[in-house]
Homo-oligomer: A and B are copies of this chain.
Amino acid sequence: MAAPKTAKSAPPLLDDDKTVELADMFKMLGDPSRLRIVTATLEGPRAVGEIAAMLGLSVSLVSHHLRLLRATRLVSPERRGKQIFYRVHDQHVAHVIRDMIAHVNEEAE
| CB contact between A32 and one of B19, B99, B100 (< 8 Å): that residue | B19
Q: How many copies does the complex hold?
A: 2
How many Å from the CB of A95 to the closest CB on chain B?
8
| CB contact between A7 and one of B35, B53, B99 (< 8 Å): that residue | B53
- Known A22-B35, A29-B26, A35-B19; judge A7-B54 contact (CB<8 A): yes
Given A22-B35, A91-B109, 4 further pairs, Cβ under 8 A: A19-B32, A22-B104, A25-B104, A26-B29
Interface of A toward B, CB cutoff 8 Å: 2-3, 5-10, 13-14, 18-33, 35-36, 39-40, 42-43, 52-54, 56-58, 61, 90-92, 95-96, 99-101, 103-105, 109
